[in-house]
């Protein structure tokens, strides 16, 4: 019986940790976008709708989402794919704590901060 209580406690702790990660990331909504250099910085400063997609090649949930973002990237200029295994500094600027994550910026402000796999309609609806 003790083992059951230990397992239930561990599962509860796991879910609380996951919830806290999502909660911390969603608190970014409404805050100013971080300072960026290059094309991404220009896109943010222009005030146009800009989307940042944070992924990792080893992320299983990122697999289905990456082709959708690739397709959108061909249609829209202000979409940036950030591989966190190669560019952790940018992920830290945004406070990314899990992948896949999508940050939608408009007018220099974070409008949406999405964690986990997102349907194609949600991403295409942004533009």
Region 61-88 average pLDDT: 91
Query: What is residue 69's predicted lDDT score, i.e. its pLDDT?
Result: 92
Number of domains the chain is built from: 1
* Main-chain phi, psi angles of 29, to 5 degrees: -60, 130
Region 33-41 average pLDDT: 84
Q: Residue 112: which pLDDT band, with cuts at 50, 70 and 90?
A: confident
pTM recorded for the entire structure: 0.78
**Which domain range does residue 74 map to?**
2-126
């Amino acid at each position: 019986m003790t083992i059951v209580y230990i397992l239930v406690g561990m599962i509860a702790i796991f879910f609380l940790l996951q919830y806290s990660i999502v909660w911390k990331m969603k608190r970014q909504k409404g805050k100013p976008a971080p300072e960026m250099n290059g094309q991404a910085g220009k896109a943010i400063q222009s005030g146009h709708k800009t989307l940042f997609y944070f992924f990792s090649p080893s992320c299983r949930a990122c697999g289905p989402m990456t082709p959708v973002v690739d397709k959108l990237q061909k249609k829209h200029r202000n979409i940036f794919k950030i591989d966190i295994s190669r560019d952790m500094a940018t992920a830290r600027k945004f406070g990314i704590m899990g992948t896949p994550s999508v940050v939608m910026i408009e007018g220099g402000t974070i409008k949406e901060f999405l964690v986990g796999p997102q349907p194609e309609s949600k991403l295409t609806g942004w533009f």
